[in-house]
Structure 1
Amino acid sequence: MPMPPSQARAVIIGGGVIGCSVAYHLVQEGWDEVVLLERKRLTSGTTWHAAGLIAQLRASKNMTRLARYSQELYARLEAETGIATGFRHTGSITVALTEARQEEIRRQAAMARAFGVEVEEISPAEVAEKYPHLNTEGVQSGVWLPKDGQGDPANIALALARGARDGGALICEGVKVTGVAREGRRVTGVDWQAEDGSTGHVDCGLVVNCAGMWAREVGKMAGVNVPLQACEHFYMLTENIPDLGALPVLRVPDECAYYKEDAGKILLGAFEPVAKPWALGGIPEDFEFDQLPDDVDHFEPILMDAVNRVPVLAETGIHTFFNGPESFTPDDAYHLGLVPEIDNVWVAAGFNSIGIQSAGGAGKALAEWMTTGRKPFDLGDVDIARMMPFQNNGRYLAERATETLGLLYADHYPYRQKATARGVRRSPLHAHLADRSAVFGEFAGWERANWFAKPGQAAEYAYSWKRQTFFDNVGDELRAVREGVGLYDMSSFGKLRVEGADASAVMNHVCGAQMDVAVGKIVYTQFLNEAGGIEADVTVTRLSETCYLVVTPAATVRADAMWIRAHMGEARCVVTDVTSGEAVLAVMGPRSRELLSRVSPDDFSTAGFPFGTAREVEIGMGLARAHRVSYVGELGWEIYVSADMAAHVFEVLEQAGADLGLTLCGLHMMDCARLEKGFRHFGHDITCEDHVLEAGLGFAVSKTKTGFIGERAVAERRGALRKRLVQFRLTDPEPLLYHHEPLLRDGEIVGYLTSGAYGHHLGAAVGMAYVPCEGESAEQVLASRYEIDVTGTRVPAVASIKPFFDPKGDRMRD
């Protein structure tokens, strides 16, 4: 076997299907000196025992794009490398046994149509025709994806490895990475030990952590955060079934099961609701192609349902009962990209039992990103920068992993919250809100009040695809903000201090707007990439001549800090995450000025405190900084107060607002209000792929300054839009919108909703979507007939480029 060289351009750690895919795609991109180090043998961790299901449809357009590329790649690898991948189009069926699941799969089918994936909704009789061994008792409907398939996981990985070798990559088996050398924010090389006891060191330009369930351990060697946990994953394989014939993949998520025909046998796999984390004390050193101990009692409930659902199982012996480990992440999305902690360490790991179908696309996307320095398209769903440092805590991972495996087949209700590993990050106001019947959701580890229960109402979610129990609560909270005054906690939003002698120059380079403004001025702006796409959507407050405060969504604070640092050059400037240092209370509504004037001697008039400014104020006996901005489209202020005084300020406001009808509100209300106002949400309505002008945010980009990232792309697109972000309101007040519902223009699908919610003030569901419009005026775009596909029903919708609510923005500026 070859031994590692003394130097390399890239060292890939891990020889599963992911590592082999990254190596293959790097050489496809023209890289030389690519070295892959595998501790034992290729595929010996998880890949060798994977089920090999290869589906096209994922939860977002770009994840679907990656899965479809994987299929295309595996279909041609055999001819390219001479190694059979076993890939074949079998099609797949997902069946619903409940009304809720039926709505879910119908929404998934609609989403598939929007993404261009071939899909068909089929009846129970049609399901039985395609899968004759199925007992259709209780089956309400199904979804058929004819282009889905399956393959041989180990051979797919070996074919990728062959292709990488043919392109010049060096693959070394039996070589374990034992250490990572660093200088400052860069890795300089890796130490290794071979199975024969020999040791060495490879100097390298970068490292790619593809170590699968070892990725957390490898990450720690380099001081890198890669949160994932191995769990036991069960399946059984029957004896040979005469005349079984080829069958599609069958998924019965209501019974936590999937079925795959495998060389005349049936493989039954499970995603049980309560999973079993494995190797909490560390993975055994000699682990290689190993099987974990059987746990028939754990698997038995799923097997009993399966015997009823596919009766042929009752007549067939079990050839193999298998238990093997797979790694799962805290949010069931894999880790991809450049890590926040080190400037030249990349990650592709934690594939949550979809590694085979994801490997081709993930490897290609990462290789392109590494080659160009830019994401090939929006990868926010899986970007490693979304993970918070605390999520690498072992106890947290062990508890969360009991849930995340089962969530793959759980009902994916809108607003569904994780149930495990909760309560880690809390606002200074958490106890106050909990005492007042707040119902919390979790986001980036933060406990956030999403809505408030009424007296006698259970302070908990009761999930549904229809109007959930909080529907009227959110309507009442919105009414308070639109007509009176509401109070909600925004403490979880990220806060970055950018300070130093060159802070103004750095911010002017990174931001599209003019940032050399007066102290106390608040600027709404975007971080743009060279293509004019939106990397961050933020407000920036100039606190002093040398200090700015960037306020950003909770989940992107690390990515945004990375972006600023990556574009500072040698500037005299530092970026510090100060999120936890201040609580933020939003006081919003027509009576917000009246409330604040009761608790503070400061001037809150329009003349004395204009929109878009911030200043220090007294509240009660404390000090705070009030920012006059609004994400709900109403007169209001965000009150930034140090964590130690937050409870006092809350109590003062609550007491003073009692006779004003002050209402505690949650973040579901905020989302509803911002959609009525047409305010964009980063990660949904605007991403790195969406040009700032096409997103309708040209007003936030300076027309006079120069030297900012994306300047040329903005200039080139002015007056030549290819698409427009348009707001839509259903004409029927009954249906609900969430996101990814197909948008039809004059009867043809032209896109999908980027986000949606019920507009309680407007009296119907609202959403936003990009409409292709090259060569068209705004008037021509609006002249068309629009419909939105809600579970297969086309619902007419009114389109508007201006916000439906307060289109001129007078309410928040007066």
Structure 2
Amino acid sequence: MVEKNVPDRARAVIVGGGISGCSVAYHLAKLGWTDIVLLERKQLTSGTTWHAAGLVGQLRNSQNMTRLAKYSADLYSKLEEETGLATGLRQCGSITVALTEARREEILRQAGMARVFGVEVNELSSSEVLALYPHLNISDVKGGVHLPGDGQADPGNIALALAKGARMRGAQIIEYTKATRITTKDGRVTGVDWARDAGEQGHIAADVVINCGGMWGRELARENSVTLPLHACEHFYIVTENIPDLAQLPVLRVPDECAYYKEDAGKILLGAFEPKAKPWGMDGIPETFEFDQLPEDFDHFEPILEKAIERFPLLADAGIHTFFNGPESFTPDDRYYLGAAPEIDGYWVAAGYNSIGIVSSGGAGMALAQWINDGEPPFDLWEVDIRRAQPFQRNRRYLKERVSETLGLLYADHYPYRQPETARGVRRSPLHEHLKTAGAVFGETAGWERANWFANPGQEREYQYSWKRQNWFDNQRAEHMALREGVGLIDMTSFGKIRVEGPDALAFMQRVCANQMDVAAGKLVYTQMLNAKGGIECDLTVTRLSETAYYLVVPGTTLQRDLAWLRRNQGGAVVVITDVTPGEVVLPLMGPKVRDLLAKVSPDDFSNETHPFGMAREIEIGMGLARAHRVSYVGELGWELYVSSDQAAHVFESLLEAGQDINLKLCGLHAMDSCRIEKAYRHFGHDITDEDHVLEAGLGFAVKTDKGDFIGRDAVLRKREEGLSRRLMQFRLKDPEQLLFHNEPVLRDGEIIGFLTSGNYGHTLGGAIGLGYVPCRGTGEPLADMLASSYEIEIAGVRYAAEVSLKPLYDPRSERIRG
């Protein structure tokens, strides 16, 4: 039944009545927002929610995503008592089995993560798998993991229960009413235009609009030039006829066969995440789509079914009751989108759930509602933050190509350093072909093609993935040692570059940055932008170009986030904030022999007296000009050369030619990362986030509270008075053969106390290096006591002894970068 009365005004309008929109409405209402309207174009759940498999798995790839999934499971268990609507939640547990040694290592690493995150987990032998899942063919099963707290539920009923809970608290849920346009004025949301099939239409004025439009969300966002990169894919499953005497079973995942199994009322639902998916809806989602199915494609599903019959022989005699094909939204990186769209104030997003929408939406709705209510996220949500999306990703051809791969990646081997294969080459440095000719093997980040390592002559230019030392390990070592002992050249054009200029530039930079920005022109400052809690919103270097102009360098992946943060905090400051990323190539030239090379290509003086550390100035190089920033992310003497894109090839060729006599080596991102982790330099998104206090991250040296007020100052002063509750520490494994990546459990005196935030191999230090936070035993525990403890790192269930340090294990006094 269509509700007749659509209000003229609401505090918040939610667009989309799937489980995501219903969860946001429910949680905003729980926070006391009574003036809420949810608009659903047809009936609630009629897009994707109604046909979801309803798996509720608690363990995700990070601590906070696991926190959200656990919240969802807990919420769904309580909804029936609150609303009277059954959610069908059954805590039947789940099993993931491995058919290869590589997969076994992966799931054992996941089990370690589960222990860190407080999720009950049991490691299983093949016979123990069979005991929990009778009738399974275990002839080639290498092992498994069991999560007893996992379960399954009825997705449609969960959404309806959330909707009822929202209504009980005053929200309006209006069906058969389509949001046709989100209206704006002066860069801010003003409301939503709506229409009905009968020709009725109107407008709701609103302060906040939340796009929960699922597979329709991208086109709705596009009307306002909001970047919401998602694309529908066909998702297949079958449901068998009743199988006699089939006991209740856990959810079973066999990722090596791209399959999952869900027992329900004596039937088996067999679903697939096939390696190459079928994108759907390239010309838009039909207006009439409501509880619809897509055409069957048995040929596409048959390879999955054939393996499933071998794996679970009972299927051979079971009839197929339903062959289902329905659309679901996928994103370029298999992570959903949450948060405030940077393009328009008051425009929020919760969409693109990549087939984990049921387990994600409860927690995502809670987190987004708190974010909207408080003006800041409840904890670090960068992994799913909408600000990670790049504007070019709105391109439909790009999305169609990429999501054909990302669906299958859900069950692919999640090897470290795995690179996407589709939709590549969109963003390239002007030096791309030069690097390619020199043997570069490229990775992709934020659309940028970046040289990760350089192949030797005759060596295959591709990744051979493994949990052990991959085929480029020795290449990385050679590049790493060139940076440490000789001279290396890296292309870091993917850095985000921002100019802030205007009469209020100094006052603005002083307010948003924690370090002292009132420095001489040409001075370079390492700093953070903090939030009100003292968490790190951005990690950057800033060069003062003139009295009224600053040049900011940020990670390429966080550029949109950082631009949004600056503009959000601009207030009345008279400044212009400009993204100038494409205009300049960045060439870090690093190593103890760097001055020898520069002397061959430039007449300028690079001595400490003329060009000290932390200074930028214009230099001549070859027949061109560059701005040379004396700074280092690898911990060696060096300069980052900023060269206009039109002169980049000439400067690069000049350096390469001059470097032949001193063994200049082209180096990739892997070598840069292994050098930075030896020096304990932080990496945003891993070691430091908006949830990590700047003092506990060990970056207090870059905070100047005596300069006057700035965002986060009060939180820094409070933390100094209260004392630290944890410290970011550096670890080195004593066994030189083992490797670290990130998320490995950290044990102190035999007990798990945290996990590694990042890891790589320290070729100079002779072992794997990791960074991770160690909680203090009581606020302000003396550092000596923390260092005196015994530490181990767990890798795939095995513990390895580690030494720990607060100071960098490599060049702790930073003498080399100032040499």
Is the Cα contact below 8 Å between 1:187 and 1:222 reproduced in 2? no
Given candidates 738, 747, 754, the residue that maps to 2:741 is 738
Q: Which residue of 2 aligns with 1:508?
A: 510
- Which moved further from structure 2: 641-650 or 772-781? 772-781
Matches within 5 A, 1:741-780: 741-773=744-776, 774-780=779-785
In the alignment, structure 1 residue 197 sits paired with structure 2 residue 202: no
Structure 2 CA distance, aligned partners of 1:704 and 1:319?
A: 72
Matches within 5 A, 1:111-130: 111-130=113-132
Shift of 1:246: 0.8
Given candidates 784, 788, 800, the residue that maps to 1:783 is 788
Shift of 1:281: 0.9
Structure 2 CA distance, aligned partners of 1:639 and 1:27?
A: 53
Structure 2 CA distance, aligned partners of 1:243 and 1:43?
A: 33
2:417 alignment partner AA = Y
Shift of 1:221: 2.0
Determine helix, strand or coil for the equivalent of 2:53: coil
Q: Which residue of 2 aligns with 1:809?
A: 814
Is the Cα contact below 8 Å between 2:111 and 2:145 reproduced in 1? yes
Determine helix, strand or coil for the equivalent of 2:801: strand
Is the Cα contact below 8 Å between 2:69 and 2:359 reproduced in 1? yes
Structure 1 CA distance, aligned partners of 2:531 and 2:184?
A: 29
In the alignment, structure 1 residue 485 sits paired with structure 2 residue 487: yes
2:196 alignment partner AA = A
Determine helix, strand or coil for the equivalent of 1:273: coil
Structure 1 CA distance, aligned partners of 2:182 and 2:333?
A: 28
Given candidates 456, 459, 482, the residue that maps to 2:458 is 456
2:747 alignment partner AA = L
Structure 2 CA distance, aligned partners of 1:22 and 1:41?
A: 17
Structure 2 CA distance, aligned partners of 1:180 and 1:564?
A: 24
2:675 alignment partner AA = A
Is the Cα contact below 8 Å between 2:635 and 2:676 reproduced in 1? yes
Q: Which residue of 1 aligns with 2:209?
A: 207
1:545 alignment partner AA = E
Structure 1 CA distance, aligned partners of 2:287 and 2:572?
A: 44
Q: Which residue of 1 aligns with 2:439?
A: 437
Residue deviations 1:636-671 (CA, integer Å, cap 9, x gap): 000000100000000000000111010000000010
Given candidates 272, 296, 316, the residue that maps to 2:298 is 296
- Which moved further from structure 2: 796-805 or 710-719? 710-719
Matches within 5 A, 1:345-360: 345-360=347-362
Shift of 1:33: 1.1
Matches within 5 A, 1:559-578: 559-578=561-580
Structure 1 CA distance, aligned partners of 2:229 and 2:705?
A: 43
Q: Which residue of 2 aligns with 1:469?
A: 471
Q: Which residue of 2 aligns with 1:496?
A: 498
Is the Cα contact below 8 Å between 1:337 and 1:366 reproduced in 2? yes
Residue deviations 1:358-388 (CA, integer Å, cap 9, x gap): 0000000000000000111000000000000
Shift of 1:133: 2.2
Given candidates 314, 317, 320, the residue that maps to 1:318 is 320
Shift of 1:294: 0.1
Shift of 1:703: 3.4
1:193 alignment partner AA = A
Matches within 5 A, 1:406-417: 406-417=408-419
Given candidates 389, 392, 395, the residue that maps to 1:390 is 392
Structure 1 CA distance, aligned partners of 2:62 and 2:182?
A: 35
Structure 1 CA distance, aligned partners of 2:347 and 2:452?
A: 36
Residue deviations 1:293-325 (CA, integer Å, cap 9, x gap): 000000000000000001000010000000000
Given candidates 613, 629, 637, the residue that maps to 1:611 is 613
Q: Which residue of 2 aligns with 1:799?
A: 804
Structure 2 CA distance, aligned partners of 1:803 and 1:316?
A: 62
Is the Cα contact below 8 Å between 2:233 and 2:278 reproduced in 1? yes
Residue deviations 1:571-595 (CA, integer Å, cap 9, x gap): 1012111111100001000011111
Matches within 5 A, 1:572-651: 572-651=574-653
Is the Cα contact below 8 Å between 1:602 and 1:617 reproduced in 2? yes
2:597 alignment partner AA = L
Given candidates 545, 560, 563, the residue that maps to 1:558 is 560
Residue deviations 1:595-644 (CA, integer Å, cap 9, x gap): 11211111100110000000011100101100000000000000000100
2:606 alignment partner AA = F
Shift of 1:114: 1.1
Determine helix, strand or coil for the equivalent of 2:705: coil
Q: Which residue of 1 aligns with 2:232?
A: 230
Matches within 5 A, 1:252-271: 252-271=254-273
Structure 2 CA distance, aligned partners of 1:502 and 1:551?
A: 20
Shift of 1:128: 0.2
2:748 alignment partner AA = R
Structure 2 CA distance, aligned partners of 1:388 and 1:801?
A: 36
Is the Cα contact below 8 Å between 1:48 and 1:289 reproduced in 2? yes
In the alignment, structure 1 residue 367 sits paired with structure 2 residue 372: no
Structure 2 CA distance, aligned partners of 1:810 and 1:287?
A: 65
Shift of 1:534: 0.5
In the alignment, structure 1 residue 280 sits paired with structure 2 residue 303: no
Structure 1 CA distance, aligned partners of 2:782 and 2:254?
A: 47
Structure 2 CA distance, aligned partners of 1:35 and 1:245?
A: 44
Is the Cα contact below 8 Å between 2:514 and 2:705 reproduced in 1? no
Q: Which residue of 1 aligns with 2:175?
A: 173
Shift of 1:223: 2.1
How many residue pairs were aligned? 814
Determine helix, strand or coil for the equivalent of 1:40: coil
Is the Cα contact below 8 Å between 2:585 and 2:643 reproduced in 1? yes
Is the Cα contact below 8 Å between 2:705 and 2:713 reproduced in 1? no
User: What percentage of aligned pairs have identical amino acids?
Assistant: 67
Shift of 1:226: 0.5
Q: Which residue of 2 aligns with 1:81?
A: 83
Shift of 1:182: 1.4
Residue deviations 1:45-76 (CA, integer Å, cap 9, x gap): 00000000000000000000000000000000
Residue deviations 1:483-537 (CA, integer Å, cap 9, x gap): 0000000100101111111111111101100101110111000010111111110
2:804 alignment partner AA = A
Q: CA RMSD in A?
A: 0.7
- Which moved further from structure 2: 81-90 or 217-226? 217-226
Determine helix, strand or coil for the equivalent of 2:538: strand
Structure 2 CA distance, aligned partners of 1:179 and 1:696?
A: 47
* Unaligned ranges ≥5, structure 2: none
Shift of 1:775: 3.1
Structure 2 CA distance, aligned partners of 1:795 and 1:359?
A: 37
1:486 alignment partner AA = G
Structure 1 CA distance, aligned partners of 2:189 and 2:685?
A: 30
Shift of 1:25: 0.3
Shift of 1:716: 1.1
Q: Which residue of 1 aligns with 2:43?
A: 41
Shift of 1:187: 1.5
Structure 1 CA distance, aligned partners of 2:708 and 2:750?
A: 43
Structure 1 CA distance, aligned partners of 2:538 and 2:361?
A: 28
Runs of 4 or more consecutive aligned structure 1 residues displaced over 6 Å after TM superposition: none
Shift of 1:279: 1.1
Is the Cα contact below 8 Å between 2:69 and 2:360 reproduced in 1? yes
Determine helix, strand or coil for the equivalent of 2:691: coil
